[in-house]
Amino acid sequence: MMLRYFIRPFACPRIKLARGLSFSKEVPLIVEPEGYSHLLGSVVPLDVSWHMPNASRDSRAEFKKRRIPRARFMSLDEVAGEHPLSLPHMMPSPSLFATTCKRLGISPGTHVVLYDTIGVFSSPRALFMFKAFGHKKVSIMNGGMPNWEYASLPVDERVFEPVDYPEPELSTNWLRNYEDMKVNATAAPSESNNHELVLDARAAPRFHGTAPEPRPGLPSGHIPYSISLPFDILLETVTTGNGSQFTRLRNTKELYEIIARAIGSDAPLQPGSKVRIVNTCGSGMTAAIIWLALQRLGVNSALYDESWMGYAARPESIIATTT
């Protein structure tokens, strides 16, 4: 099957984002290291670093060496639900989520600040998880641990005690499953009222089917009628004085322009839009970066939890390419 998407020229209108944002000043969606440091005594920083299997990095070991003061560590592969295809880091059960939070000294009223050691990579996925379970006070650190160190802020170690975290309720409307995606794969947006706008965070060559998937045995390509939106174009790379680099989320104007250009319209980004959006990627990790960018613009969206690993592994799946 061959699908081609034609994107018309896009002229960004004057953007008024404040109206679409509902995040309180007390609990911002994104915090900068300099603005966060004075809150050290009232929030819980949580290292949620995750790396691709071929990265040869040990997140837990790195956490033990250096971390933000009072930080705890949460493994997204360990806090994960069981899946019939044995896929990693799927959404956990409410019980597992609550038990993990108790162990980490996090209560439902705790303001949690999530960060990772790449900059912005796995922290949006963790933010999505907390939000889906109804945890109100949660933010991410823009630029993560590298940005913290870039700002010359201190690292520290401290012992913490477990607290109570009652089992929450998972907001299932935040997630999509395979049956939901089959609907999107069999009808064009103009032909079905049930169709959702599907944004794919993988690299464009994998989306188009011109480059192999990093996971053996999986074909490349994409869900029919989905749109390529590689997660890395939503991020900017900062180079420090010693030559190291980290990523951080772009500003709202840039995010608006990038997403609207990829979609071919700014309609889904407007207040009151009825267009439903679902994000996908390779394994459900970087799809949360698109989700975060949309949240930054005041746009709600869902996440296809199993993503391409689950979709492409099923022989009955319809796979589109542009080759």
Q: CA 166: distance to chain centroid?
A: 25
CA atoms within 13 A on the CB side of 300: 12
Distances (CA, A) of 278 to 28, 199, 284, 311: 23, 6, 11, 14
Catalytic positions, written as ranges: 281
Q: Which residues pair with 141 in a beta bridge?
A: 31
Please give the Cα distance from 218 to 240 (Å, whole number).
37
Structure tokens at 104: 């980490």
- Closest by CA position to 269, among listed 251, 295, 231: 295
Tokens representing residue 276 in the block: 């439903």
With 0-12 / 13-18 / 19 or more C-beta atoms within 10 angstroms meaning exposed / middle / buried, residue 59 is buried
